[in-house]
Amino acid sequence: MFLIAFPLLLIPFALYNMVAFLLNMPFGDTLFSFPLPSNTRMAVTLGDALVVLAALLLYLEFLKAARFASKGVMDHILALLLFAGMACELALVPKAQTSAFLFLTTLALVDLLAGVSIGSGRRHKDIAIETHEDMTGA
């Protein structure tokens, strides 16, 4: 599969940066609203939409981590680099200091920790225990 060594959470990170720095749009503006059964309307902002997109992509990352045993180290390194970049941007760049970006950074951390956790649990299956009879050929 072509998405093995590509961190999918890079997509909402790139979209956030394009909207914040190129389009200079605020993340609190309402994109759309939909009616609820309580006769009220729920407003969805651009930041909300990016967090929902990131959550759906995080689900795909979990599927990748659980399914592909061979991806290993490169995917973990890319996830670490993505999280480190997002954490630095959150701490240092004023336009990235929003709740939406905080949630995106948190999802990147969850992706990193889950990928390492799932990957480390799978390595124990490669251990083979041989008896004395197997080694002597008897």
Render pLDDT for 68-92 as a digit per residue (tens, 0 to 9).
655 577 888 898 999 999 999 999 9
In the chain, the number of structural domains is 1
Is residue 28 situated within a structural domain?
Answer: yes
Predicted TM-score (pTM) of the model is: 0.79
Residue ranges making up the domain that contains 20: 10-121
Q: Which residues pair with 44 in a beta bridge?
A: 32
What pLDDT is attached to residue 85? 96
Is residue 3 situated within a structural domain?
Answer: no
- For residues 68 and 47, which has the higher predicted lDDT (pLDDT)? 47
Is residue 55 situated within a structural domain?
Answer: yes
pLDDT-based confidence at residue 115 (cuts at 50, 70, 90): confident
Is residue 134 situated within a structural domain?
Answer: no
Is residue 45 situated within a structural domain?
Answer: yes
- For residues 63 and 131, which has the higher predicted lDDT (pLDDT)? 63
Is residue 131 situated within a structural domain?
Answer: no
Is pLDDT at 45 greater than 50 in this prediction?
yes
Task: Write the CB contacts of 24 (distance below 8 Å, at least 6 apart in sequence).
Answer: none
What pLDDT is attached to residue 70? 54
Is residue 78 situated within a structural domain?
Answer: yes
Contact status, residue 58 vs residue 69, Cβ threshold 8 Å: no
Render pLDDT for 95-106 as a digit per residue (tens, 0 to 9).
999 999 999 999
Task: Write the CB contacts of 28 (distance below 8 Å, at least 6 apart in sequence).
Answer: 45, 46, 47
The C-alpha atoms of residue 117 and residue 121 are separated, in whole angstroms, by 6
The C-alpha atoms of residue 70 and residue 45 are separated, in whole angstroms, by 38
Percent of the chain with pLDDT over 90: 54
> Mean pLDDT, the chain, as a whole number?
84
What pLDDT is attached to residue 1? 47
What burial class does residue 95 get, using C-beta atoms within 10 Å of its C-beta: 0-12 exposed, 13-18 middle, 19+ buried? middle
